[in-house]
Structure formats: C-alpha cells, structure tokens
Chains A and B, each alone.
Chain A
Amino acid sequence: MYYLGIDIGSLSCDAVLIDEGKNVKASSVVPTGARNRESIALATEIVMSRAGITGRDVKATVSTGYGRDRVEEKIASVTEITCHAKGMQALRAGAEVLIDIGGQDSKCIHMSDKTAVVNFAMNDKCAAGTGRFLEAMARALQVDIGEMGGLDKGARGGVTISSMCTVFAESEVVSLIAEGTGVNEIVKGLNRSIAARTVSLVKRVIPDYQGRPVAMSGGVAKNDGVVRAIEEALGCSVFVPDMPDTVGAFGAALFALERSTQ
C-alpha cells in the first residue's frame, strides 16, 4: 500500500507518495492557482501516474499547508510547521534548526529527537523575504525567478536593499537599475536582505543556534544565492535536500503512514 502527503501552499501544491518502507515513489509540484481543488487533483493524479498506481492503492492521505482543509480524502490535516519538521528529520537525522521559506511564509523551527517541534516562529505581519517577495523582485529585474539563484555570481556585495516592505523594496530595485547597478549586485543585495530577516527569526527561536545542524526547506531553498547568503549570515553550512519544496508533503506522507498503522 501507499501513503500520500499533500501540501497546498500559497504558490504551489505538492504531493509525495511513499511506500510502507518510507521510500518516496513519486512526487509532483504544480502551481496552486486560484482553484486549489483542481491543483490538488492534478498533483495527486501526477504522482499516481508516475508511480503507476490508482487511488485504491493509497491507504491514507494527510494534508498540510494553508489549503489543508480543502483535501477531501484526508485522514487528518497537520500544519506545515509540524510536517516540515517531520519530513526534514527523516531526511537529515540530527538536524536541529529548520528554516522553511515558502510562498508567503518564512519559518524557523527548533527540532529535537524527542519532540519534533520544540519551538517555532513565523514571519510577522507581512510576507517580506518570502517566495512572493522574490517573485516581485524578479519582475522588477525582468529576470526569470528560476534563474535568480545564480545571478549573484561575481557580485562584490556593495548593495543593500533596506526596505522591509515588498512594494518599497521593488521601488528600491527599480532605482538601482536606473542608476546602472549590475543585476548581480542587486540580486546579492536582495539575497542578503532575505538572509538578515531569516537570521533574526532563527535567533528569536534558538538564541544559541551556533553549532547546531541547520537545514532548509521550502521553494526558496532552491535558490542557491539565498542559501549562500543565509550560510554567510549564520556562519555555517545549511543542508538542503534534493527537493526542498516537497519536504512538507513528505512529512505529511509520513504522518499518513504512521497514523493509518497505529
């Protein structure tokens, strides 16, 4: 039998299918869009097609993410905080600090072996420094969001993006372009801005984070430039799994396995 985890975030809907040995059989990432029920159906259809199974082979489904209540076939819904911690603990044993930056949330989760989540904090009031922030900046820079990760190469790091507000930060970027500042310098400035916000979140949750293994999940972890900036700001290396955007769905699938066999 198989176990399905579905993570319905603000930007993407992710599905991960695992078997009884916790092995990932298939995964999918589709845009959430305005109709998330359709996205859920599409993400589910893709993983089942890739695994060569039908819905009858799925013993249990657990949902997570902001749209978690929209999944009809679920046996439970679990928040993305708990699911990302669950997924990352399975991917990187011993990781204690988890940074998850998704479409509209950034989170820091303190994890331990005894209780998956010891403490956590999320971005307050606005979505600055999240996937939506990067999308807006990519638009301003007229570059593809998927290419942003490598665009900071060769930058000296002299540019600072000081605005905390996405709209004002976008204006700042436009001004820098008009002044002739190189795209690589602007991107590095943006990455440092996200890193600064992330580190302050980490310090809030785990003041003595130094020396603790750090991991990162969420769609923004696919952006190498942001990860490098966070590593520089934290002063340590950050573990990023192969598919960081599906860690939450993987955690949900693990819960589906656990809870259906309890």
Chain B
Amino acid sequence: MLINYFDDLEKGIVSSINDQGGKASPRKLYSLEIARLGKRLYSGSNKVAWCGVTAPFDLLHAMGLTSCFVEFIGAMLASTGMAGSIIEESDHAGYSSDACSYHRAIMGAAMKDLMPAPEILVGTTVPCSGGLAVIENLARHFDKPLFILHIPQGDSDSDVAYLASQMKDLTGFVTEHTGIALDRGRLKAVIEKTNEARGIVNEIFDLAKHCPSPANSKDLNNFLITMALFLGSDESVSLARAYREEFAQRLSENRSGVHDEKVRLLWIQNRIQFKNPLVDTLEKEYRAVIVSDELNSITWGPIDPDDPFEGLARRAISIPFNGVTQRRIDHLKQLARNYKIQGAINPCNWGCRQGTGTRGLVEAGLREVGVPVLNLEVDCVDERKFTEGQFRTRIEAFMEMIQTRPNPWQQH
C-alpha cells in the first residue's frame, strides 16, 4: 500500500515539475526526496536499517544501507490521514493509549505489515526511551539483529570517545549482518557531502533570520530532522542549494515568506503532522510566521572526513534534547534572540514525557527573554484527538495577547 503511495507521490511531483518547465520550489524538491526515500524503504530491493533519531544515517548510507528513523513512518501515516486505525493496532502489542502516538503508529504499522522488514535495527538512547522501546519491539517483531548506540549525556572527551568507539563497532555489526564492508574512501566522500550540506543549511538558517523572513511557516517544516536522512548524498547538497537560492532570491526581491509579516514565532519540538488549519490561521489572520523550529539548527561542527567517528559522535551528542533541560532552554533562548521571536508554541505532544515534563521549565526560561509560550495539549500524530475549535481558540487568544505586548526585540 505505502509503496504505491510513495510511487504516486513521486510521479505527481515530477509531473508537476515538468509542467512548470522544470522549475520547482525547494519545498517541492524536499517532498520529492521524501517520496524517493519512501520508495527506497518500501521497494524491497534495498537493504533497510530502521533506526533511532540520532543514528548516523550518513555512515549507514556510506555502507549502502537505506536507513531511516522510525518516527518518519508515524509522521507519514499522520500526513496521509491513515494513522488513526493503525494506532489502535498497537494496543495489541501492550501499548497504553497514553503512550506516544508516533511510536504507537509505528508499532501498529509493523503489526499490519505496513513496514518493510529491515536487515538490521539501530536503536539510540536519545532523544527518548520510548523511541528505543519501539525499536526493541520492532527487532523482536521482525526477528532481526539490533544494535544500540548508548548516547552519553555529556560531551567530555571521554564521552565522545565512548560513542565514537560504539560507532566503529556499528560498522562491524553492519558488516556481520549484511556482508557489506566499510569502504573508507566512500565514507570520506560521504562525509565531505555531509559537511557541504551542513554549511549550506547554516546559510539557509541565517537567511531565514532576516526581518521580515524570506521563509514562510511551511518552508522549513520538519526540515533538518528529515534532512539528516539525506546527509552524505548528492541530493542533500542540491536540496540545500535550492533552499539557499530561493531564500536569497526572495530577499533580493524584498519578498517575505508571509506578506506583511507582523509576528515571528518559534515552534518547540515537532510540528503537528496531520493536515490542520492552525498554520494558515496564523499566517492569514495574524500575519504571523513560524520562523524557527527547535529542531532546525546546526548544533555540531564540521566532521573530519579522514577520521569521522569523533565528529559523528559529537553530532549525536549535540542535539538539544540530550542532557539536562537547561541545555535545551539555553538553545531555545538563543533561537529566540537570533530570530527575534515574539512568541513560542509548544505542542506538548500527548504521550511525550520529555515534551510535557519540561514544559514549565521551558516556559519559564523563554519568559526570561520576554517570549511568552503557548502550551497546547495536542497529539501531533493522531488527528482523531484534534478538536479544531479548542485549538483555534487557544492559538487566537495567544495571538491577541502578543498583539498587545511590546515586541521584546524592539525595546533594546
């Protein structure tokens, strides 16, 4: 079923690009890469590795594997409106209805034969224990070998060395279970592509910081977390270039992502993955733009192509969700300053203990820099729990409140 979906999606996008004389917005190119990744995962002709969010996808790509974090499937099912009935299936695997719907959707998809069997699985202890648990469930379900990367919470030299050593061990694990040996020359070429894309993505984010921003609220939706799946490929570089060129052009033509931009917002954690009217409401009724997402920032340095394991380890450790909450708050405050944020929206995804458990601290931290936070209680995957009127009221009341407040970045 899903192979047909991704195939149709790819054909539709390609046809649309051809109709436009070969021109495509970067967001369309991004969707095209998603469709192609989906096809690779579901074609049955590629060796697949189901992974945790912080796995080294470029390293696995260098070894010839199509790798993907499993939450991608939860998000895809939500965006296609299929998640609801699939989520219920996970109850048979012992999942509580209070658990994260990303993970329930993944488990339900596996039980309904909507996930291809992988060659291997690579679990990660960051960003959440629920993500690791679903990988362990999948390993048992598919009866396939599982490798777990224990991501340290600190970034001392010994922490980095510990994780780098595990990543080297991962290459041996891949070889053992797939027969594919690590080609150092190919790995070097892949890491060089990763570094190139990393540099361009940094430029994209810098362009997005302009006031008014060339980005609209949807341009960079789920951008970097998905881009991680393409890192190391030529496509990641060309996709990043397309965004950079588009944003640079919009700026040169004084075109903002949202016409007559009035309010700049920060989205905390993940977006709502199913179709909903909230972003359109923000843009059309309040001229508000989600100009930054918590997960849209490069937190790691370039990786040494000749000795990449240390750099790969530093990258995995660096994500803001790792370690103490204060680190995450500092990151959000920095985003608020860099993007001149006037308000932040925290969806507090149902079932995400990490998201809801820290919301008070996050709210207090952002208020220290003059940024109010709207805590929604929304299931980002299961649209059956979405009551539009309730959420519209909260969003609109938040915007009415922001409109009466002084802009914290115009006072200084």
Contacts and interface: CB of A to CB of B under 8 A. Distances in A.
B286 to A, nearest CB: 12
B181 interface: no
B377 A81 contact: no
Q: What bracket does the count of chain B residues touching chain A fall in?
A: 10 to 19
A124 B377 contact: yes
Contacts of A124: 377
Contacts of A117: 397, 400-401, 404
A120 B401 contact: yes
Interface in B375-403: 375, 377, 389, 393-394, 396-397, 400-401
A79 B377 contact: no
B320 interface: no
Interface centre among A66, A81, A121 (most CB of B within 10 A): A81
Nearest to A80: B393
A65 to B, nearest CB: 9
A45 B201 CA distance: 60
B405 interface: yes
A81 B372 contact: no
A82 B393 contact: no
Nearest to A121: B375
A118 B405 CA distance: 8
Q: What bracket does the count of chain A residues touching chain B fall in?
A: 10 to 19
Nearest to A78: B400
Contacts of A122: 393-394
B106 to A, nearest CB: 23
Interface string A43-58: 0000000000000000
A81 B397 CA distance: 6
A125 B349 CA distance: 12
B280 to A, nearest CB: 14
Residues of B contacting A: mostly: helix
B393 A116 contact: no
A79 B404 contact: no
Contact of A120 (B377, B397, B405): B397
A79 B405 contact: no
B397 A82 contact: yes
Given A81-B400, A120-B397, A125 B377 contact: yes
Contact of A119 (B360, B372, B377, B394): B372
Contact of A79 (B350, B375, B393): B393
A236 B302 CA distance: 59
B404 A81 contact: no
Interface in A78-134: 78-82, 115-122, 124-125
Contacts of A80: 393, 397
A78 B393 CA distance: 9
A116 B405 CA distance: 9
Contacts of B404: 115-117
A66 B393 CA distance: 7
Interface string A236-251: 0000000000000000
B130 to A, nearest CB: 19
Nearest to A115: B404
Nearest to A66: B389
Contacts of A115: 401, 404-405
Contacts of A120: 397, 401
A82 B401 contact: yes
Contacts of A204: 360
Interface string B337-366: 000000000000010000000001000000
Contacts of B396: 79
Interface centre among B394, B396, B400, B401 (most CB of A within 10 A): B401
A203 to B, nearest CB: 11
Nearest to A117: B401
A104 to B, nearest CB: 9
Contacts of A79: 393, 396-397, 400
Contacts of A66: 389, 393
Contacts of B400: 78-79, 81-82, 117
A198 to B, nearest CB: 17
Interface string A125-158: 1000000000000000000000000000000000
A121 B400 CA distance: 14
A80 B400 CA distance: 11
A80 B394 CA distance: 10
A122 B375 CA distance: 10
Contacts of B394: 122
Interface of B: 350, 360, 372, 375, 377, 389, 393-394, 396-397, 400-401, 404-405
29 contacts: A66-B393, A78-B400, A79-B393, A79-B396, A79-B397, A79-B400, A80-B393, A80-B397, A81-B393, A81-B397, A81-B401, A82-B397, A82-B400, A82-B401, A115-B404, A115-B405, A117-B400, A117-B404, A118-B401, A119-B372, A119-B401, A120-B401, A121-B375, A122-B393, A122-B394, A124-B377, A125-B350, A125-B377, A204-B360
The 3 residue pairs across chains A and B that have the minimum distance between CB atoms: A81-B397, A79-B397, A124-B377
Given A81-B393, A117-B401, A118-B401, 10 more contacts: A66-B389, A81-B397, A81-B400, A81-B401, A82-B397, A115-B401, A116-B404, A117-B400, A121-B375, A125-B350
